[in-house]
Chain A
């Protein structure tokens, strides 16, 4: 009786771990960071493991801040962030693993998304009004300043709830970079970082672009900022913003591309593409970056990493458009390829 039970238990465990051993892949790469990138990365890495190479890329969307931290702790093979490493972060990383190579992998827009019952997508916002909402000076959707920009739109008497990121976020960096450039008050009161103190009295934090998009969807009166792909995939309403040339522009792949074209050369020290001039430029855009160690500790994994990203910044860009990201401009692709060539494996 006892022996029978042991045999049953043993067989079950054996089957479990046996299945495990069979299913193991030839090469697995682990990455973490930006949730801005996540829908594009998931799709591209999925296709890569299926049709390009057997390399499986496990990417976890933990936010840019987390990505930088885990990369520096060397618990992941690559990190992704919508902001290149800042000087202090670079110092910490170099102390941990030597020189870091950073290159852009995707281009996207940050949409100002909202949930106001009976109000359609495309509400017009000026930089002042947007900053006013985010600063907590404008607290209700029926505020005269919003109505003045949107004649005829039936705004309800509904308190505004600002939804922002709770984790260290490159999307927050891009959004506050924009607000800092268009609002002197925001610049002195809040500033520009991956984590800021949100001044609006009625505000809630959520984890990741996923969480912010979900929170906006579930909260009438909410307004927040998320990567464009998230609002397009989830039918969330988003605003048109008045750009530096005085035009109201909705975020689309084309208006993001227009903005990026105004600044053809970006590098890890000069990367901001918010508030770009040009009538057709959407004002809140950004590149997202991947970090790799210049001297790869594991030769074969290093080769796989370089191969993966060489594909991602060139052929892999075809999947960007399919999930509502902008494919990298060809000159930026060339810059990324050059950076990759400097990695020693």
Chain B
């Protein structure tokens, strides 16, 4: 039995390793300077890159985080410390259900409420869709992280006469910040590779379309489009795009860990 659990644990870990190694093998050759600096070229014109898709993805993820992280963190704090009774139960229930809503449905929703009234596809619409997907993950992780903080610490602050909100913002939240950052990162990693909602919102582009109100290129869209195409050079770029996505999520992870270390500064 023990051996079996070991084996299964090994399989679980090996999956990540296998995927990463395979993607590096296939996508590695695509990553050159042109890939990161040039715009895509049409079939038959050599030397294209994916620069607009990389920047487009970063812009969309940043905007989605700007919407989802503040709302998600505050809602999580509310659930952990303040929420009682029916309302809190309802919020918990709805965010759990929201986690399970297929991302494509959220994409159609964003298409209907943002793209159709605005009459154009846009990075804004993509950010709205992705932020909805991020939200429940951030809410529930923040709640768990804040709950883990020993209430005695906050009570100590309150006993010293600190305002309730100050005790939360200055005492409890800093203690829980590693967990909160983890929640935000989980949300980010979850949406960075989403392609289905982007089909209805960001739409894709062959150019630098960096006004948030215009159709925008994104890495998952590029991978989707290029991977199903019959052209060998496009398929190579698709592998390169997949590898870049993985690297991007790793990089965001590491940067966030460096900027917000788990231990409190002295």
Residues of chain A having any CB pair with chain B under 8 Å: 1, 5, 8-9, 13, 16-17, 19-21, 23-25, 28, 30, 32, 39, 42-43, 45-46, 49, 56, 58-61, 73-76, 206-208, 210-211, 213-214, 217, 230, 233-234, 236, 322-323
Contact = CB atoms under 8 A, between A and B. Distances in A.
Nearest to A59: B206
B99 to A, nearest CB: 27
Interface in B219-263: 225, 228-231, 259-260
B116 interface: yes
B211 interface: yes
Interface string B23-64: 000000000000000000111110000000001001100100
Interface residues of B, number: 33
10 contacts: A5-B260, A13-B62, A20-B59, A28-B214, A43-B45, A46-B45, A60-B204, A210-B225, A210-B228, A233-B230
B211 A20 contact: yes
Given A75-B121, A206-B228, A323 B43 contact: yes
Secondary structure at the A interface, as helix, strand, loop or mixed, is: helix
Contact of B208 (A16, A17, A23, A208): A23
A133 to B, nearest CB: 21
B42 A58 contact: no
Interface of B: 41-45, 55, 58-59, 62, 115-116, 119-121, 203-211, 214-215, 225, 228-231, 259-260, 265
A1 B62 CA distance: 23
A267 to B, nearest CB: 29
Contacts of A230: 230
B259 A9 contact: yes
B119 A74 contact: yes
Contacts of A30: 120-121, 203, 214-215
A1 B265 contact: yes
A25 B207 contact: yes
A210 B207 contact: no
A207 B228 contact: yes
Contact of B231 (A58, A73, A208, A233): A233
A227 to B, nearest CB: 11
Nearest to B232: A234
A236 B232 CA distance: 13
Nearest to B63: A17
A131 B66 CA distance: 56
A32 B127 CA distance: 21
B200 to A, nearest CB: 10
Nearest to B56: A20
B203 A56 contact: no
Given A19-B55, A210-B225, A214-B229, 6 more contacts: A16-B55, A19-B210, A30-B203, A39-B42, A42-B42, A60-B204
Contacts of A9: 259
B206 A217 contact: no
A23 to B, nearest CB: 4
Nearest to A212: B230
A58 B215 CA distance: 8
B211 A24 contact: yes
B205 A20 contact: no
A8 B55 CA distance: 18
Contact of A17 (B43, B44, B59): B59
Contacts of B44: 39, 43, 233, 322-323
A59 B209 CA distance: 13
A32 B121 CA distance: 11
A233 B58 contact: no
A35 to B, nearest CB: 10
A210 B235 CA distance: 12
Given A20-B55, A75-B116, A233-B44, A25 B208 contact: yes
A3 B138 CA distance: 24
B59 to A, nearest CB: 6
A25 B215 CA distance: 13
B43 A233 contact: yes
A213 B214 CA distance: 31
B230 A236 contact: yes
A75 B121 CA distance: 6
Given A17-B59, A20-B55, A46 B210 contact: no
Contacts of A76: 120-121
Contact of B209 (A28, A32, A213): A28
Nearest to A39: B43
Nearest to B115: A75
A56 B121 CA distance: 16
Contacts of B119: 74-75
A46 B259 CA distance: 42
Contact of A214 (B116, B120, B209, B230): B230
